[in-house]
């Protein structure tokens, strides 16, 4: 039996509960893993509350990424062995699999060998953040030396990963944050410039930072009315990649700026590429190289025990964290 976190109705953190469920044997293309640590993501809170990209099939599991130890392999799974230390990456629907548990069945296509020298807690904090940022900035955006990129909600784990990736290719990361509380920490984390949106106008601040050129890329998980201001801060033929919908208000299309500057605005999630073996291999190599040379290093905001999963989700939705929240799983 496995101790599994599920929710039987959508709502706030308190709808999560522990269910004892049979694990069973992994089927073809799957593996059974013992979960050691879980990385928390906003997507999971949205799925739990019924506001995500897909409706949960109740009772529903949760959890996209974890560090784990392989217990058993299903037929057709090559390149792994029981006892391997691995990372489960976000490459599946939570209606099919979930890693908020002490033991879980996961698809082999969503498992990578744990990077050398990366701890159990760190490996639970790597993949959602760095894969999401790599896909937008490197794979799609072709971010390069001297390019300015606006990184909204920059104190999130994905935002901090984007700052590090931008610096690793010689780009200029411009972080935005709502209040001054996290501004100094963002500079310490590598932001070349920080825009405090409650005090500064984004377009003017970014134009000052870029000598009037504007930012070629915008990497934004919020959407909402701020899209207009972000468009004003972009360069000619700039690209805005919106990878989340944290704003509750509608997201306008900034038609005048888009016409004046020939802008591209598009939605993006890492699911565009994580099921493509070639692109995933390129992403993993980039990230593992960055972890090895120290250019990429996940920032852990706080850790909780699995018993405190409700409190961990309360903290996740508080916006107080700077970096990744990780839940450890005792055995």
Q: What is the pLDDT of residue 245?
A: 84
From residue 312, alpha-carbon distances to 97, 249, 302, 318 in Å are 20, 26, 9, 10
Q: What is the pLDDT of residue 26?
A: 97
Cα separation, 248 vs 227, whole angstroms: 13
Cα separation, 154 vs 156, whole angstroms: 5
pLDDT band of 40, cuts 50, 70, 90: very high
Q: How many CB atoms lie within 10 A of CB 285?
A: 10
Q: What is the pLDDT of residue 248?
A: 83
Q: For residue 257, which of 278, 292, 223, 230 has the smallest C-alpha distance?
A: 230
Pick the CATH number of 128-271 from 3.40.50.720, 1.10.240.10, 3.40.50.1360, 3.30.300.30: 3.40.50.720
Domain segments of the chain as ranges: 2-125+298-328, 128-271
Of the two residues 53 and 169, the one the predictor is more confident about is: 169
Token pair 């692109």 in the structure block, residue: 279
Q: What is the pLDDT of residue 209?
A: 93
pTM: 0.94
pLDDT tens digit sequence for 180-239: 999 999 999 999 999 999 899 999 999 999 999 999 999 999 999 999 999 999 999 999
Q: What is the pLDDT of residue 99?
A: 98
Q: Show the DSSP H helices in 191-268 as ranges.
A: 202-209, 226-232, 255-261
Pick the CATH number of 2-125+298-328 from 3.90.180.10, 1.10.3720.10, 1.10.150.20, 3.40.309.10: 3.90.180.10
Cα separation, 47 vs 221, whole angstroms: 16
Whether 247 shows a pLDDT value over 90: the answer reads no
pLDDT band of 278, cuts 50, 70, 90: very high
Half-sphere exposure of residue 121: CA atoms within 13 angstroms, side-chain side: 15
Whether 319 shows a pLDDT value over 90: the answer reads no
pLDDT tens digit sequence for 301-310: 999 999 999 9
């Amino acid at each position: 039996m496995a101790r599994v976190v599920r929710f039987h109705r959508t709502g706030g953190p308190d709808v999560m509960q522990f269910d004892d469920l049979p694990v069973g044997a992994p089927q073809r293309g799957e593996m059974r893993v013992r979960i050691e640590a879980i990385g928390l993501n906003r997507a999971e809170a949205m799925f739990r509350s019924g506001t995500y990209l897909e409706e949960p099939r109740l009772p529903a599991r949760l959890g996209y990424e974890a560090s784990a130890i392989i217990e058993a392999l299903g037929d057709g799974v090559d390149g792994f062995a029981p006892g391997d230390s691995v990372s489960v990456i976000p490459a599946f629907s939570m209606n099919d699999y979930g890693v908020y548990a002490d033991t879980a069945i996961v698809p082999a296509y969503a498992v990578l060998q744990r990077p050398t020298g990366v701890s159990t807690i760190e490996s639970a904090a790597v993949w959602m953040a760095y894969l999401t940022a790599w896909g937008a900035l490197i794979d799609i955006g072709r971010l390069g030396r001297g390019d300015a990129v606006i990184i909204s909600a920059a104190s999130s784990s994905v935002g901090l990963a984007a700052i590090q990736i931008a610096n690793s290719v010689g780009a200029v990361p411009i972080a935005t944050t709502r209040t001054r509380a996290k501004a100094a920490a963002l500079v310490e984390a590598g932001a070349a410039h920080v825009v405090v949106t409650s005090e500064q106008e984004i377009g003017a601040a970014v134009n000052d930072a870029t000598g009037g050129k504007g930012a070629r890329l915008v990497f934004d998980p919020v959407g909402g009315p701020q899209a207009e201001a972000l468009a004003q801060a972009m360069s000619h033929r700039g690209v805005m990649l919106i990878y989340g919908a944290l704003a509750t208000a509608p997201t306008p299309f900034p038609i005048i700026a888009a016409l004046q500057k020939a802008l591209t605005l598009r939605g993006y999630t890492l699911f565009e590429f994580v099921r493509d073996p070639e692109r995933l291999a390129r992403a993993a190599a980039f990230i593992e190289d960055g972890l090895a040379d120290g250019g990429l290093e996940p920032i852990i905001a706080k850790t909780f025990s699995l018993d405190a999963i409700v409190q961990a989700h309360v903290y996740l939705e508080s916006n107080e964290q700077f970096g990744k929240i990780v839940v450890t799983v005792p055995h």
